[in-house]
A and B are shown apart, each in its own frame.
Chain A
Amino acid sequence: MSKDKAEGADVNAAAALVEDKKKKIRDEWSACLSSLAETRDKLEFSRLYEYFAPRVKAYIIRFGMNPAAAEELTQESMLAVWRKAHLYNRSKASASTWIFTLARNQCIDRLRREKAVEYELPEEEADPDQRHYGEHAVVAQRMEDAIAKLPEAQAQVLYLSYYEGKSHSEIAEQLGIPLGSVKSRLRLAFSKLKAHWGEKSEN
């Protein structure tokens, strides 16, 4: 396979540069979060806030909250970052992964509380509107390279799980495929991502 060897090398070098840059950004935020625990520096917290709060808000909206609730929940999540910073362990997760899990837990708690109330109200028509349908292709472009490299069918089930908070059964119903297929696609996607990421930790 000597064809376009030089060009191929260039492309690889460019890809490596992009990868490097991403890693640098990731490391920078992880370092920032790590030091926050010791310094309790509000300036450092503000930096984290400016970067992560709008992202956390976007995630929470995708998960099914209205913008006002998302705004409030984002503030609560960022307060939790401040409160729990000393529990953050850089060797286990990047800052973005850690903040994602905090935001996710806030989200789940809130949705469960709301659902608990909903059960007492008359059931509303299920919303058959598939407004995000087909959007996954666009979003996939924005996703990290490893995920974007997955076959579309696999990226799609990951997208529906993480971006839209859909359960396996809901995904099966939406795509019109058996539950078993949803799971096997997720399994395949997961094993490819693991192979791509290689190492056990993110740093």
Chain B
Amino acid sequence: MKISHHFDDATLIAYSSGTLNKGMALLVESHLEMCENCMEQVQTSNRIGGDLLRQIQPVAMKSGSLDQVLSMLDDVEPEAPVVSRSHNAEVPASLVEYIGDDLDALDWKTMGMGVQQYDLKFGGAGAARLLRIQPGVSVPHHTHTGNELTLILRGSYSDEIGRFQVGDVADLDDQLEHQPIVDTEHECICLIATDSPLKFSGLMGKLVQPFIGL
């Protein structure tokens, strides 16, 4: 898999410092499975956290806390190394826990205009959803009030930035208005995670907003 679009460093720092919401963190993890480049960046940004831990002013533990933990050590088994179970490679392992490994078996909800969605229903501000977009269909022009991450799981699309294929991520914020269009005869399925609602522009966008409501 050749990946040409990666995360913004700022996003990887947010991931490393633990400040992304659940959906966005899951999307980052899914991409990290496929992308050594971003994985390396995350290891570097984790180092900031490691340095922090050495420099921080310690806060004493209660007396007896070590003994408490020592008494539990014999009861815990060393964790087995993660064996990647064989699954449909189309769905990243991090995501399998939430949606299973068959994209076609999901309970897709039709939103009209060649778009279907599956909501991961994580709650909180923002959203995490899968969008399934038919060939030739374009998502209306929209900007974002916050951040929007997209990971392509099947097919491809093009927009003002470039062409996005399986494994690629689009990392967008309020600086950009874009209109993705599915650019082959195959459908495109992507995971989209946001930290605030999208703003659609134009009449078509205003019509579709209540349905997509991303």
Contacts and interface: CB of A to CB of B under 8 A. Distances in A.
A162 B49 contact: yes
Contacts of A67: 59
Contact of A202 (B50, B77, B147): B50
B173 interface: yes
A28 to B, nearest CB: 12
Interface string A114-158: 011001000000000000000000000011101100000000001
A90 interface: no
A94 B62 CA distance: 27
Contacts, number: 181
Interface stretch (B9-17, B87-95, B104-112, B130-138): B9-17
Nearest to A108: B18
B98 to A, nearest CB: 13
Interface string B175-211: 1000000000000000000011000000000000000
A5 interface: no
B9 A50 contact: no
A22 B81 CA distance: 31
B59 A57 contact: yes
Interface residues of A, number: 78
A46 B70 contact: yes
Interface stretch (B40-48, B148-156, B157-165): B40-48
B56 to A, nearest CB: 5
Nearest to B8: A183
A179 B173 CA distance: 8
Contacts of A116: 123
B37 to A, nearest CB: 12
17 contacts: A56-B53, A57-B61, A71-B62, A75-B68, A79-B72, A84-B79, A86-B78, A93-B43, A96-B50, A100-B49, A100-B50, A105-B18, A119-B123, A144-B55, A179-B173, A187-B10, A193-B47
Interface of A: 22, 25-26, 42, 45-46, 49-50, 52-59, 61-63, 67, 70-71, 74-75, 78-79, 82-87, 92-94, 96-101, 103-105, 107-108, 112, 115-116, 119, 142-144, 146-147, 158, 161-163, 165-169, 179-180, 182-184, 186-187, 190-191, 193-194, 197, 200, 202
8 nearest A-B pairs in the assembled complex, by CB-CB distance: A97-B50, A54-B58, A183-B10, A144-B51, A100-B49, A161-B17, A96-B50, A186-B10
